[in-house]
Structure 1
Amino acid sequence: MAEIAKVGVIGAGLMGNGIAHVAALSGLPVVLMDVQQAALEKALATISGNMDRQVKKAVITAEDKAAALARIATTTTNDAFGDCDIVIEAATENEDIKRKIYAALTPKLRADAILASNTSSIPITRLAAATDRPARFIGMHFFNPVPMMKLVEIIRGLATDDATAASVEALAKRLGKTPVAAGDWPGFVVNRVLCPMLNEAIQALMEGVGDVRAIDEGMKLGANHPMGPLELADFVGLDTLLSVMKVLHEGLGDPKYRPSPLLAKYVEAGWLGRKSGRGFYDYSTNPPTPTR
């Protein structure tokens, strides 16, 4: 098992900047890459703000924050990944985009470097087959918000070797996460169980079984969930939820995984949840108000 001493992250969005955040805080140098310089600047501001909250809560010190930020280098090209032991791809949940990223990335990597995907549902074996290193390709699925959520799903593809799995499990622990092994099936463990529940809540809303408040309050009070399913769907992102449901439906072929037509309609409207300011709730008001 090779120890991971330097981490690369592709994608400076919500997940990518969170992964860079925890890696840098753990003492590892990080290369954060995005094709847009503005996205990198926004990511660094987000990381700094999130670390400020950790300082206020006495989770870390101001010195810890300064040292962690100094460990993060940003880039808009793949050239800086040449000395990384692992590169974690945290791009949008689109298989074609991920394949294009791997095609451009792998020529820049060392032969022994590990390539991991933060995909939430796309089969790892299929992604690995699109690279030059199936034995050193693995799924490393973090959860949002990365600095707070303790779980990381570790998903081996058919060709992933033992050394790669051991190195990535050790990395997850160093980042302060709890790794769990998940089989390479659509949705893995968490999304296989969670996303159909969220989809069913949306279907119940469409059929008039209850309105937004009835469904969310019912699940919070009746099932002791900290967030209602529609509130959680907004938090996850309705476009992400739709992508996962499509992967489940196509990969497993069972009609129970069919995305709700109402979910598809919201995504078509650009109502993606919190990140767009509107989903099943309108986030321009305080507190947010249901849109149905």
Structure 2
Amino acid sequence: MKNIAVIGAGTMGNGIAHTFAQNGFIVQLIDVNKDALNKGLQTIATNLDRMVAKEKITSEEKQSTLHNISTFSNLNKGVENANLVVEAATENLDLKLKIFKTLDEACPDTAILASNTSSISITQIAAVTSKPERVIGMHFMNPVPIMQLVEIINGYNTSKEVTKTIMDLSKTLGKVPVEVNDYPGFVANRILMPMLNESIETLYNGVAGVEEIDTVMKLGMAHPMGPLQLADFIGLDVCLSILNVMYNGFKNPKYAPCPLLVNMVNAGKLGVKSGEGFYDYSESKKAEKVSKQFLR
């Protein structure tokens, strides 16, 4: 288990690649968008520079980490020698199914196929492959190099051997793996997303403002970040996608996304990634509250 392919060079993908490479694994970072690959590598280098400045790693360790990463825009070439593939593409079912169908044909028969999905069924993903027993979920937390938790999600057919391998592998990364079963939202998002959604609903109903809601949860519940700021950090589009998966999976109205969340995503106000969500992240107005244009 030495060659690791990571599909997707976005926030999660480059964080996963960084973490494996820093721990001595040979990483193939794959993305069809070459600009995304370049941006992903730059993000990794910047994060490593921060670690050097804080004396958490040496300059030599930074260079070794970067040396361990190769980039590919061709998926088949990137995975041809992989022992483990971690898919970290957009949270879109059709896209993930397409990727796993390709992986099933392109990867060595012995490769383990993992998805970093935060809500989509591992069983459903595995069903499009010829070896569903070798498909598993590895749900890393953001930012990956810092957060310790990894949710290890068993699909219906995931073998015990594969689960043990991935649990042990996660520990070698300095992570704390937690084994869970395949139900919508797993554990982390089944609990987190309704809280975020209720916070948005509280704002939508005019109970309190953005800063007030976040302050109550930070000071009253000892949360390091308020729920609305956290939603911005995750990405409001990602929150909406996860809630839709849970709502469709459970058919329970408590998972229905708040209309305010839907409107903001439709308007392109996605949080940090777009420069504006519940807060304004533009250079001139960083961390200011967003305007009330979406509130009724």
TM-score normalized with structure 2 length: 0.96
User: 2:135 is matched with which residue: 134, 137, 145?
Assistant: 137
2:218 corresponds to which residue?
Answer: 220
In 1, Cα distance between equivalents of 2:213 and 2:256: 20
1:105-116 correspondence to structure 2 within 5 Å: 105-116=103-114
In 1, Cα distance between equivalents of 2:217 and 2:183: 28
1:41 corresponds to which residue?
Answer: 38
Q: CA-atom RMSD, angstroms?
A: 0.9
Q: CA deviation at 1:48?
A: 0.5
- The one-letter amino acid of 1:117's match is S
Q: CA deviation at 1:175?
A: 1.2
User: 1:117 is matched with which residue: 115, 119, 123?
Assistant: 115
- The one-letter amino acid of 1:288's match is A
- The one-letter amino acid of 1:145's match is P
In 2, Cα distance between equivalents of 1:70 and 1:113: 23
Q: Say whether residues 1:7 and 2:28 are aligned partners.
A: no
- The one-letter amino acid of 1:278's match is E
SS of 2:139's equivalent?
A: strand
1:31 corresponds to which residue?
Answer: 28
In 2, Cα distance between equivalents of 1:145 and 1:286: 24
Between 1:193-202 and 1:280-289, the stretch displaced more is 280-289
Q: How many residues were matched structurally?
A: 289
1:245-256 correspondence to structure 2 within 5 Å: 245-256=243-254
In 2, Cα distance between equivalents of 1:273 and 1:69: 29
1:205 corresponds to which residue?
Answer: 203
1:124-203 correspondence to structure 2 within 5 Å: 124-203=122-201
2:287 corresponds to which residue?
Answer: 288
Q: Say whether residues 1:102 and 2:107 are aligned partners.
A: no
- The one-letter amino acid of 1:52's match is D
In 2, Cα distance between equivalents of 1:214 and 1:83: 52
- The one-letter amino acid of 1:168's match is I
Q: CA deviation at 1:287?
A: 4.2
The C-alpha deviation readout for 1:72-107, integer Å capped at 9, x for no partner, is 010011223111100000000000011111122221
| Contact 2:120/2:185 (8 A) holds in 1 | yes
Question: Following TM superposition, where does structure 1 have runs of at least 4 consecutive aligned residues deviating by more than 6 angstroms?
Answer: none
| Contact 2:100/2:125 (8 A) holds in 1 | no
Q: CA deviation at 1:204?
A: 0.7
2:90 corresponds to which residue?
Answer: 92
Unmatched runs of 5 consecutive residues or more in structure 2:
none
| Contact 2:29/2:78 (8 A) holds in 1 | no
The C-alpha deviation readout for 1:150-180, integer Å capped at 9, x for no partner, is 0000001010001111111111111111000
2:239 corresponds to which residue?
Answer: 241
Q: Say whether residues 1:22 and 2:55 are aligned partners.
A: no
| Contact 2:155/2:182 (8 A) holds in 1 | yes
SS of 2:21's equivalent?
A: helix
In 1, Cα distance between equivalents of 2:269 and 2:63: 37
| Contact 2:14/2:44 (8 A) holds in 1 | yes
In 1, Cα distance between equivalents of 2:81 and 2:113: 13
The C-alpha deviation readout for 1:181-207, integer Å capped at 9, x for no partner, is 112110011110001000000011111
User: 1:60 is matched with which residue: 57, 71, 78?
Assistant: 57
- The one-letter amino acid of 2:211's match is R
In 2, Cα distance between equivalents of 1:183 and 1:103: 23
The C-alpha deviation readout for 1:256-285, integer Å capped at 9, x for no partner, is 111001000000000000010000011114
TM-score normalized with structure 1 length: 0.97
SS of 1:279's equivalent?
A: coil
1:260 corresponds to which residue?
Answer: 258
In 2, Cα distance between equivalents of 1:128 and 1:142: 19
In 1, Cα distance between equivalents of 2:83 and 2:208: 50
| Contact 2:232/2:270 (8 A) holds in 1 | yes
SS of 2:71's equivalent?
A: strand
SS of 2:202's equivalent?
A: helix
Percent identity between matched residues is 53
